[in-house]
Each structure stands twice: as C-alpha cells, then as structure tokens.
Amino acid sequence: MNYNKKSIEDIEVAGKRVLCRCDFNVPTKEGKITSDKRIVAALPTIEYLIEKGAKVILCSHMGKPKGEWKPELSLKIVADRLSELLGKEVIMASDVAGEDSKAKAASLKDGDVMLLENTRYIKGETKNDPELSKALAELADVFVNDAFGAAHRAHSSTSGVADYLPAVSGYLVQKEVSIMGKALANPERPFVAILGGAKVSDKLNVINNLLEKVDTLIIGGGMAYTFLAAQGYTVGKSLVDNEKLDYCKEMMAKAKAKGVNLLLPVDTAVAASFPSPIDAEIPVEYVDCTAIPTDQMGLDIGPKACAEFAAAAKAAKTVVWNGPMGVFENPTLAKGTIAVAQALADSDAVTIVGGGDSAAACEQLGFADKITHISTGGGASLEFLEGLELPGIACLEDK
C-alpha cells in the first residue's frame, strides 16, 4: 500500500463544499456523551477547513443501527457538543443524503459547518452501495477522510464516495499513515513489536507479517500460552487454542530462520480461576512458565517477564505495541500491561500503541503524552500491522 497520500493541505478548499468523514462513534449513557475524545481529535481538521473558508459537511456513523432509524443513536448530541467546542453553530441535518441534507448543503456559506445524520441509518452504507456513495458525493466538491478508526471498512462514507470526488486525508488519518506507515516500511532499528491479547487466531496474520519486519517479537497475553503449549510445556487451565498449535510451531521456526528474537514470558501470574466479576480481588502466585500447576491458569506475565520485555523495549529504536499482557481490567492482573506501558513511556524510541486495550492502558496510567503515537483505530491499526490494504486509505489520492 502506498502511504504517501495527499492531505487537506495539498488541495484548494476555499469556497468548496467539503464532505469530511469523521469518527464520531462516541460512547454514550442515558443520552449523554461519556467521552468526547473522538470529537476533540477531529477538531484540527475541522478548524483548518473553517479557517480556509470551506463549506464543511461532516458525516459519521454511531453504534450499529443496522439500517434502522434509532433515536438513541442520533448524532444530534455530537452536533451539540461540537457547537460548544467550535464556538459556532453546527447545523444538523435530519437525514443522511436526502432532501434536508441537500437543501442545507446548498445553502451553506463559507466557514459554515453541518453534520449529517448517522450514516448507518441507511442500509446501503455498510454494503458500500454505489447509489448512497453517489448521493453523498453530490453534496460536495471534495472528500476528506479523517476517520482512521473506520478506514478498514469499505463503506459508502469511508471509501465509496471517493469514486466520485477528489479524495484526501485529514490530519488524523495523515498522522496515522505517516507514523505507522514509516514504522512498517522503513523503521529505525532495532525494531521491536509487542503483541498481547487473548487469542492467537486474532493475530495470525499480524504475527506472520511482523516476522518479516522486526528484530524482536514479544508475545504476551492469553495467546502466549498457546505458544508455550506448542513448545511442549504443560500450561494448566490457561487459555490454549489447540487448533493453532501447529501454526505457533511454524511461526517459531520462521522466527529462527529469519533471525528474529521471539520472546515469550518466562514467568506468569497464576490463579485457580478467571476472576468473576472481572475486577474481583483474587489471590495469585508467580511461577515459571515451565512449571504451571495443572489446576491453575496463567492470567498475566510475571515479574521476570516484565523486566525482560521492558529491557527489550528500552533498547529499541522503534516499538509497536498491540494488546494487553494479562487481564488488564483486574488491578491484580494489570501489572504486566502496566510494566510494558511504563517501558514505552521511559523509552527514547519511536513508540506506537495500536488502539484498543493498550491505548486505554496508556491513557489511564497518564502515559499518553510520553508515547509517540497512540492509534485512534483498534481494528484499523491491527489490519495495518497485518500489511493489509485499508479501503479508506487506498481510495485517497497519491501525492
């Protein structure tokens, strides 16, 4: 995939109607936004377009209405919050690309901002329906994609519309593509990748792709036990994906053949059962990964593994991290994830955290400002690490 894409600064937007796809899929409770982080993240692009005199038409999905008009998933609350943040009215359309949107888009003045209703209210959105793509394109002169979190989806509002309009990136997408693209295409070495999470099956292609690129691959989280089982160790009641044992053996052989240092945890926190509820206090002990008792399950990496993983991260020039080292939601079982987050925060390397739980960990621990880049897209950043082409990026014009 070509990572060298045009951005909003490479085109003339003054006086033009600009359709900007944002990621306003914000968490809500009882009709109120509980975190406006995604709205705030979109501000630099929106403010640039306003300042340059564009007529700004924003669009996004929220939740999974599956083609039905669900009032609780209306973007009206986003329009209200955005109005407060911008200090100017954001005009709310009552439809997606219908009569109201057309009328309001046609009457916009330079510097005005409007927001379309939830794009997933229309069934054709997730099917990348050409009719919807065309209807969205008819509202504008230029398309800007600033929703990296949805860039791995080939939907009408993320890529389909680019079939009919000149398409460029906003600042969020530009940053994701330039930093993650460079890390994968031309990293400063040593290049270390740290993968966690529960299942090997979620990261099959990521592991395979990263073994072509990294100097060291660290595997923690639940999926480490499948690798340990593939080496012939007894892992007790730990999570094991029996269908992926041969795959793990193949990956270990590939790492050896490529000269990649593959690090697995040397010790682990074990308990008799998974915590229920997830944040319940449970007694744990630390054992070597070669000696997990048959009646215990591994739920986090141990102190020796924490030290070894942290040392590898600190010695790197580029570090990519995706996935927690244990059951991060439980204070007792978050130590491994905290240790990795701390190591990245203390490192002088280019540090990239790929969405999801890893990003949440860095933010909760107050390390966000010490990380080079925290991705705004969990699924999109994973597919990026797999080396897949992301439809919402591929559709943008090359520089």
- The pTM for the full model equals 0.88
Question: Residue 115 and residue 42: Cα distance in Å, rounded?
Answer: 13
CA atoms within 13 A on the CB side of 313: 28
Instruction: Compute mean pLDDT per 10 residues along the chain, 399 residues long, and list them.
Output: 90 98 95 94 97 98 96 97 98 98 98 98 98 98 96 96 98 91 88 91 88 96 96 96 96 98 98 95 96 97 98 95 94 95 94 85 90 85 84 95
Asked whether residue 398 is domain-assigned, the answer is no
Which is the catalytic residue, given 38, 52, 213, 237?
38
Question: Residue 302 and residue 246: Cα distance in Å, rounded?
Answer: 26
Q: Are residues 243 and 356 in the same domain?
A: yes
The count of structural domains within the chain is 2
Which is the catalytic residue, given 70, 134, 182, 199?
199
Q: Check: CB of residue 59 under 8 Å from CB of residue 135.
A: no
Picking from 171, 187, 219, the residue at the C-terminal end of a domain is 171
Q: Are residues 200 and 157 in the same domain?
A: no
Q: Are residues 154 and 284 in the same domain?
A: no
Does residue 302 carry a catalytic annotation? no
Picking from 156, 171, 186, the residue at the C-terminal end of a domain is 171
Q: Check: CB of residue 330 under 8 Å from CB of residue 279.
A: yes
Q: Are residues 70 and 219 in the same domain?
A: no
Three-state SS string over 135-165 comes to HHHCCCCEEEECCHHHCCCCCCCCCHHHHCC
Does residue 153 carry a catalytic annotation? no
Residue in the structure block whose two tokens are 């007694």: 283
Q: Are residues 148 and 242 in the same domain?
A: no
Picking from 171, 206, 224, the residue at the C-terminal end of a domain is 171
Q: Are residues 100 and 226 in the same domain?
A: no
Which residues form the domain of 156?
8-171
Q: In what order do the strands lie in the sheet with 261-263?
A: 261-263, 216-219, 191-195, 318-322, 350-353, 373-374
Does residue 17 carry a catalytic annotation? no
Q: Are residues 191 and 252 in the same domain?
A: yes
Does residue 256 carry a catalytic annotation? no
DSSP state of 170: -
Question: Residue 58 and residue 116: Cα distance in Å, rounded?
Answer: 6
Residue 277: asked if its preceding bond is cis (omega within 30°), the reply is yes
Residue 64: CATH number of its domain? 3.40.50.1260
Which is the catalytic residue, given 356, 377, 378, 392?
356
